[in-house]
Chains A and B, each alone.
Chain A
Amino acid sequence: MLDADFFRRWMTATATSMNREAERLTALDSAIGDADHGSNMQRGFSAVRAALEEEAPDTPGAVLTLAGRRLISTVGGASGPLYGTLLRRAGKAFGDAAEVSEKQLAEALRAGVDGVMALGGAAPGDKTMIDALVPAVDALGDGFAAARAAAEEGAVATTPLQARKGRASYLGERSIGHQDPGATSSALLIAGLAEAATGASGE
């Protein structure tokens, strides 16, 4: 079973990887977007880490809803509402449970991804974060390492696609040949889950 501490480790590990990979995300974004995805995600997850240190919520649901709220309040752009909705929806699905199973986590993330698709209107193949998240959630039944690998594969697989949502869609065919920065940051989020499962805090 997974407790609030697991979810705090997940968020902390993600904050660490967003810091580490900020420049790479921004470089990906400069090819087909506006060169700010790395700094935006870094700012958002740093705020999440700070909020969790300050408030220390004691259920999985409370950790994720707090994290989602902080992302919405600090990230801006499309990523703020989309990542915020992902985590808030997942958190809400947990209710007040003190511990959740891996199966419940998979279901909650599925609800979160559905929320992201409803809000952003993107479907698999549109070259967005959905292309990493959907395969990750599908693979969660086989464990965190499988989800991590699926998310990374999904992110890499956005490279040959033409963007149909978000700012990259304005480039039309010129968006082809570049890995999607949102799918890449989503793969980092899922990687954080695998790190939390091994007990690493990412520090």
Chain B
Amino acid sequence: MRMLINVPETVVADGLRGMAAAHPELNVDVENRVIVRRDAPVAGQVALVSGGGSGHEPLHGGFVGPGMLSAACPGEVFTSPVPDQMARAAAAVDSGAGVLFVVKNYTGDVLNFDMAAELAEDEGIQVAKVLVNDDVAVTDSLYTAGRRGTGATLFVEKIAGAAAAEGQPLERVEAVGRQVNENSRSFGVALSAVTTPAKGSPTFDLPSGELELGIGIHGEPGRERRAMMTSGEIADFAVHAILEDMPPRNPVLVLVNGMGATPLLELYGFNAEVQRVLGERGVTVARTLVGNYVTSLDMAGASVTLCQVDEELLRLWDAPVKTPALRWGM
């Protein structure tokens, strides 16, 4: 194991201390594991709180700031945070206008956020929730825990965050978040397995020359293993999987997301192929984002997320945002 760490037990705390030092505009509570924008609560604005396991950086702490999240709760590596963290975050950011929890559909995240919502409501905080479940690699049926929440989390947090920044009421911000989720689909591919600090060796065995199709963001294997494919072939596979599930009628936002260990050169090349496939299928692209945003530690690979947008959602996407990992217009 070669990792730039001290010991596995302090990886999350060490990362948070470093984040605090780099971002004085955030209030990073290392002990309680809550990252809050320093000017919170913002009077008259709905607050957005998200969180999940660590290891997906910059998600979620990197998206805290004006125009996006009010607070984020990082859990242990790949483990959802605990209700106390989320309730503490909600109390820190609620201005009286209510709090929207953005929750990725993983059993642990869902259960802990539900418990946190009860705790926050006991304190008189109004709470709403948007569940993100965009991953088309998972069959949404009675026989699974339902589709995972992956890349669309960024779209939901950005667009609902913009609605909140405009002073829209809680039910409206929640509705915008749900609309973004319903119009988003993702598909991910792994070229290598992840090594978690706690385990110290790859979580699954992926021989060179093979790849996993339909992976999530926690180092779990995908649905299918194949012989290595070219960037163009992978783009064909991923985009077709998404379009089969959601043939868009409107322009789309495109997120070509690195899983952590794939260089930007490869991601840009992959994006060229994704744009080619979309063009061939007659899909109009409104905006494109390429980079490492929803990662899985040192996993190599990428995911594609498409979000169908109308004029209103596109306007909210373009609205100013100022966070460590996403920043434009201000």
Contacts and interface: CB of A to CB of B under 8 A. Distances in A.
Interface of A: 26-27, 30-36, 38-40, 43, 72-82, 119-120, 162, 164-172, 174
A81 B77 CA distance: 17
A75 B82 contact: yes
B221 A34 contact: no
Nearest to B138: A170
Interface in B189-211: 196, 198-199, 203-204
B199 A76 contact: no
A167 B223 CA distance: 13
Contacts of B53: 34, 76-77
Contacts of B91: none
13 contacts: A26-B199, A30-B199, A35-B198, A75-B82, A76-B80, A76-B82, A78-B108, A162-B143, A164-B143, A166-B107, A170-B138, A170-B148, A172-B144
A78 B148 CA distance: 14
B82 A33 contact: no
Contacts of B76: 36, 39-40, 43, 76-77
A164 B144 CA distance: 5
A108 B137 CA distance: 40
Residue among B112, B144, B203, B216 with max Cβ neighbours from chain A (10 Å): B144
Given A35-B196, A170-B148, A78 B111 contact: yes
Interface in B221-269: 221, 223
Contact of B81 (A32, A33, A76, A174): A76
A32 B111 contact: no
Interface string B117-142: 00000000000000000000111001
Given A36-B77, A72-B115, A120-B107, A169 B82 contact: no
A80 B115 CA distance: 11
B220 A33 contact: yes
B158 interface: no
Nearest to B216: A170
Contacts of A172: 139, 144, 223
Contact of B111 (A34, A82, A164, A171): A82
Contacts of A40: 76, 79
Contacts of B25: none
B220 A34 contact: yes
Interface in B155-214: 196, 198-199, 203-204
B75 interface: yes
A30 B84 CA distance: 27
Residue among B77, B84, B220 with max Cβ neighbours from chain A (10 Å): B220
B41 interface: no
B219 interface: yes
Interface string B11-40: 000000000000000000000000000000
B145 A166 contact: yes
B204 A30 contact: yes
A129 B137 CA distance: 25
A167 B145 contact: yes
A166 B80 CA distance: 13
Contacts of B139: 172
Given A26-B198, A30-B204, A164-B144, A35 B111 contact: no
A30 B81 CA distance: 20
Nearest to B198: A39
A32 B220 contact: yes
Contacts of A170: 137-138, 144-145, 148, 216, 220, 223
A87 to B, nearest CB: 14
B8 to A, nearest CB: 8
Contact of B221 (A78, A119, A174): A174
A73 B219 contact: no
B106 interface: yes
A31 B112 CA distance: 24
A86 to B, nearest CB: 13
A20 B77 CA distance: 21
Q: Please name the 4 residue pairs, one residue from A and one from B, whose CB atoms are nearest each other, closest first.
A: A77-B108, A81-B111, A34-B218, A78-B108
Nearest to A84: B115
B220 A169 contact: no
B78 A36 contact: yes
Contact of B112 (A26, A27, A80, A164): A80
